[in-house]
Amino acid sequence: MTSKTAGSTPPDDLTPQQPGSPAVNKVTADDIAEALKAGFSDFLARPVMSGFFGLFYAVFGILFVWCLFWLGKIWMVIPAAIGFPLVAPFAAAGLYEMSRRLQKGESFGWSEILTVMAKQRKREMGWLAFVTLFILWVWFYQFRTLLVIILKDSSFSDLDGFLNTVFFTSEGWIFLAFGTCVGAFLSAVLFSVTVVAMPMLLDREVDFISAMLTSIRVVYENPVVMLAWAAIIIVTMLLSLVPAFLGLIFTLPILGHTTWHLYQRAVTPAEG
């Protein structure tokens, strides 16, 4: 009953059982270890260029938090610090391209990498970026809603007052409990739809819906391993925020390169 896709069609190498949907592999803790090793190797191969993406991300984070203080939006500091790492997969697109070219032994310079977002899959990558930013917006909105409902008329004139209310009052503990549950759910959703979707869009001709569905399948078929990878990302990124975001100069590039290599192990190659 099924009809084969013509050989001239771009995705002719995908599995015939699920046209347009590449097969998903089983990944193990060893795959994460090997991907981390390869990611660190990519960072060492081009440390200045890799570090540039980490520096850009760190500077953006510093300016973002400074703007919140300047605008008097003290309550947004915590959700911003927690939610900031959620957009890291999109920020690391240039790192994926670097790893792709290093893996193929291709030469490249600043122009090829800095223009990758404009030249490759820009429409589909843009849609996935929209999904990422939308979930981040929902994260801020639910935080604000819980703030109003639970903490009600509490005023936060400075960060110390906000932290004291959140961490040292019964209402603050309730707020943290609900906020943590909602935040964990949104983080899980965003991680599931982007963990391999971003590098996949740079690697092959595919629409962003297919990329997200493949990403979800990777998580669904490898729940324990992908949960461990998510934990590594979250802990590493949050610790990197402590020294004024500067730890991101090193950790973001390594995690970005690693994500590319983990994607290569989790999803069947587009060719061959």
Per domain, the residue ranges of the chain are 29-266
Query: What would the DSSP string read from start to end of 152-196?
Result: TT---SSHHHHHHHHHSSHHHHHHHHHHHHHHHHHHHHHHHHHTT
pLDDT tens for 249-266 read 899 999 999 999 999 999
- What pLDDT score was predicted for residue 117? 63
As a whole number, mean pLDDT of residues 11-19 equals 40
- What pLDDT score was predicted for residue 272? 46
Q: How many CB atoms lie within 10 A of CB 229?
A: 25
Partners of 267 in the β-ladder: 24
As a whole number, mean pLDDT of residues 123-136 equals 79
Residues 237 and 85: beta-carbon distance below 8 Å: yes
pLDDT tens for 180-208 read 888 888 888 888 998 999 889 888 888 88
pLDDT tens for 85-99 read 666 766 788 899 899
Nearest to 88 by CA among 258, 207, 265, 227: 258
- What pLDDT score was predicted for residue 34? 96
d(CA 209, CA 262): 20
Checking if the pLDDT of 159 tops 80, the result is no
Taking the model in full, what pTM does it have? 0.80
Nearest to 52 by CA among 251, 249, 255, 258: 249
pLDDT tens for 37-82 read 999 999 999 999 999 988 888 888 888 878 877 877 777 777 777 6
